[in-house]
Structure 1
């Protein structure tokens, strides 16, 4: 009898892995075949090099480094993405629990005492003999029990495993999304900070030109009193001074607004933020160029997130297909019951039970069919999103490379324009003092120089923004983890 019991146990142990593996149903995941270009076509002269983590340090600004570090810790979008990642990781535990048996334990103990008195003649006899009422007899009952119950659903068709697989994929997507959010906020801090520097430069240019215009106005006033120039000439220069002075409040306002924008990016109220700034001329722009396009997809967290979401959607479809097949459940219990606590765990007090159940959906009003249809449509939608993310990645790189190339050319040519405008203004002032030209020539030269200087600042800002966007488009030094869900 003993050998007959042990043999099925051994067979059950050997068969368990097969039952756990089961007959997996549904389509296996294969990443969509999206065409990948062989090379980037945007013009560039830099050597191919992928960015590394901490890419913003290449601009050479310690204050920018501090601001980005604050954003990585306190930016609200970054914190929210991290919390979403923690929730997704916790969901893995929830989904994985269905692959393990459920065990519950319970215990109880009760005590009951009942009293009974003798009736009729017996009672009277007792009363006459002992001089009181009839004696009472109490009965006491003790009952103790303890039990454990276990239940397990065989994942024969892989439904529970697919639920775990989907949860793991969603957690991976949340991880990649957190990296995408962090990269986006890092780039936003950099571009906003560069805008602050640009307004500081424009404000310095405005003050410089205002001082020069005011100096010329003072000179013309002196010449007017000496009878050298007429009143219209002085009035014309005074109008220029007033115009240049009027531009300063707007520049100060724009500068302040950009600085305030750094507050929300770094997760702090603007009252606690101190931005010293500087000049765009102090910022280094390193040469940038990505490697081969095929390597880009492993460096973009948004593409990785789209693929992970697609893997999860595929697992959900498989689980929906598995729901059409029978579900097999095993239940068992072991317990002890005794009227004495000290004999509760004796062999004679043991109670055992086991059961197997099978359920097969027959009619569910279209719920399973509808769920499968929804999941398949969601999968197709995620395929389109993945393909869009891939194409968007290449588009972002090409756009940023194009913008950086032509912004570099524009900045170089605009510097030449500023140099020539400055030479023209110096010559016009010398001719004015010599009496060769009138003040209108100087005024025109001043306006040209001011316009060219502001255009130069915008060109340099455009170049810096393009560099930041290229760093972002190339993934900012992020690489896909080796343990990515696939």
Structure 2
């Protein structure tokens, strides 16, 4: 009889259906190619692209950030949290078993409302008890399986969120370092211009004192000198702010940042190749949005399963005796088992409301998934056109700087030979100074455009960066768990 009942229970569990919709990836209208595709693109999205800059200092800064950045540590701890939540949710699929032991002494009144019936009975009396008890909810309708599916998707979503932190962190450190070296070069150009204008001012001061030039020309030169001099503290302020921001990114207190190669010595990275459809698997934010959709889809099944009865089994096996020496003997044995069925009859629309809420959340997750994909397409297109057009802008500004250098040279020759006033020289040098600063800024923008392109494309380089966090994870109390893998 017992074997037959057990066989029926196991058969019900194995053949039980899981209510609710099964997840299917939504159809996505992906472009066949990028609008501004780079002809010389190479498949480098799975490599540590920051090494292409050829700057060991930048490599070290990124490695330090991956070991010590606070946001990454928070994201890693959050993954640990969801690993624990997954195991808590998964435990409901299995029987829950407890062990219990108790001992004590009781005495009943011999004169009260319920006096001791016989003086032959022991009073007080000792008692000893040891037992195992269990509970198992049979998941016939798939409520627990759907909840476990949702918990697994939540965990995978959290892991993808951590990958997004790594993606943003590496890109931010690279962009921050480039911005710092760009400011350094702007400061270098400004200091060189100040020295030139200071020499000119000293020379014109001597000429003024000798009565060669007018006071007007002297103050024109001095004005340009002071204007360049005022630019230095402005750039130095930006340098200090950039250093402080980079220091915090790499997990340190605000302070100076070690420099490596100069801006002109950095190597421009190659444009990574890839199709728009590749983003669905390359970008962690898209994978995260999809896992959020999987979890929301599974929770519809959890809500619908509440329409059906809940069937559970309980059992107890143990020993009870008034004499410790007889506790584990045959006569002291006790056991019981039973089952229960609980079905909703009237809930006032509560279950229907939970189902509608779950369906609405699933729709929100679906729209967010579609929006994330569209934004990803836009970001890559923007990054491609940015680096492409910035190259053309940089080339034009380089020609402009060369032209203005020649213009300034000729203007000075004309002035020294008495063909024009010094105003023409000042105009040429002012234009040259501004053009040089603009050229340096555009140079930094181009490097950052390539960094942002690798960021928007995503790919296996995030995994390569994640490997660099292993040293930090090994020193923590608990390394990041990776038992839960996303299925195909």
* CA displacement at 1:361 relative to structure 2: 0.6
CA gap 1:213/1:332 in 2 versus in 1, 3 angstroms = same
- Decide whether the 8 Å contact of 2:316 with 2:335 is kept in 1: yes
**Structure 2 SS opposite 1:106:** strand
Aligned to 1:466: 449
Could you tell me which runs of 5 or more consecutive residues in structure 2 were left unpaired when the two chains were aligned.
111-120, 465-481
Which residue, out of 151, 156, 159, partners 2:135?
151
Query: TM-score when scaled to structure 1?
Result: 0.88
Distance in 1, matches of 2:229 and 2:127, equals 97
Structure 1 residues 50 and 374, CA, compared in 2 at 3 Å: closer, same or farther?
farther
Structure 2 residue 77 is the aligned partner of structure 1 residue 75? no
Query: Which residue of structure 2 aligns with residue 351 of structure 1?
Result: 334
Shift of 1:26: 1.0
What's the counterpart of residue 484 of structure 1? 486
Matches for 1:313-462 after TM superposition, within 5 Å: 313-462=296-445
1:33: which partner in 2? 27
Aligned to 1:132: none
State the shift of 1:345 in Å.
2.0
Specify whether residues 50 and 370 from structure 1 end up closer, same or farther in structure 2 by C-alpha distance, changes over 3 A only: farther
For the 8 Å contact 2:18–2:146, the answer to whether it is kept is no
Once the 2 structures are TM-superposed, how far is the Cα of residue 11 of structure 1 from its aligned partner? Answer: 6.4
Q: Deviations over 1:101-155 (max 9, x none)?
A: 1112222233468999xxxxxxxxxxxxxxxxxxxx9867443222111110000
Q: Against the structure 1 CA distance between its residues 199 and 26, is the aligned structure 2 distance closer, same or farther, given a 3 Å change threshold? A: same
Determine the structure 1 residue equivalent to 2:100.
106
Q: Equivalent of 1:85, from 75, 79, 82?
A: 79
For 1:225 and 1:150, how far apart are their aligned partners in 2?
Answer: 105
Mapped to 1, the partners of 2:429 and 2:343 lie a distance apart of: 88
Specify the structure having the higher radius of gyration (Cα).
Answer: 1
SS in 2 for 1:270: coil
Distance in 2, Cα, partners of 1:84 & 1:163 = 20
Whole-angstrom distance in 2 between the partners of 1:97 and 1:461: 54
8 Å contact kept, 2:289–2:372 = yes
User: Which digits, 9 at most, give the CA deviation of each residue in 1:46-78, with x for residues without a partner?
Assistant: 234242343222222222222222222222222
Aligned to 2:473: none
Distance 2:90 2:362 in 1: 22
CA contact (8 A) 1:50 1:291 kept: no
Q: What secondary structure, in the 3-state scheme, does the structure 2 residue paired with 1:34 have?
A: coil
Q: How many residues align?
A: 459
- Classify 1:446/1:278 alpha carbon distance in 2 versus 1 (closer, same or farther; 3 Å): farther
Q: Distance in 1 between matches of 2:429 and 2:486?
A: 60
Q: Which runs of 5 or more residues in structure 1 are unaligned?
A: 117-136
Q: 1:333–1:354: 8 Å Cα contact kept in structure 2?
A: yes
CA distance in 1, matches of 2:58, 2:384: 23
Change (3 A) 1:315 1:479: farther
Deviation per residue, 1:352-378 (Å, 9 max, x gap):
211111110111222211111111100
Check conservation: 1:404, 1:463, Cα contact below 8 A. Answer: yes
Once the two structures are superposed, residues 188-212 of structure 1 have per-residue CA deviations (whole angstroms, 9 ceiling, x without a partner) of 1222221111111111111111111
User: Which secondary structure does the structure 1 equivalent of 2:226 belong to?
Assistant: helix
Aligned to 1:45: 39
Q: TM-score, normalised by structure 2?
A: 0.88
Aligned positions of 1:229-378 closer than 5 A: 229-271=213-255, 273-276=256-259, 279-378=262-361
Kept in 2: contact 1:224–1:231 (CA 8 A):
yes
Provide closer, same or farther for how the CA distance between residues 30 and 463 of structure 1 changes in structure 2, counting only shifts above 3 A: same
User: For residue 190 of structure 2, what is the aligned residue in structure 1?
Assistant: 206
Partner of 2:230, secondary structure, is helix
Supply the distance in 2 between the matched residues of 1:324 and 1:159 (Cα, whole angstroms): 10
RMSD: 2.4
Q: Is the 8 A contact 2:49 2:269 kept in 1?
A: no
**Do the aligned partners of 1:81 and 1:178 also contact (CA within 8 Å) in 2?**
yes
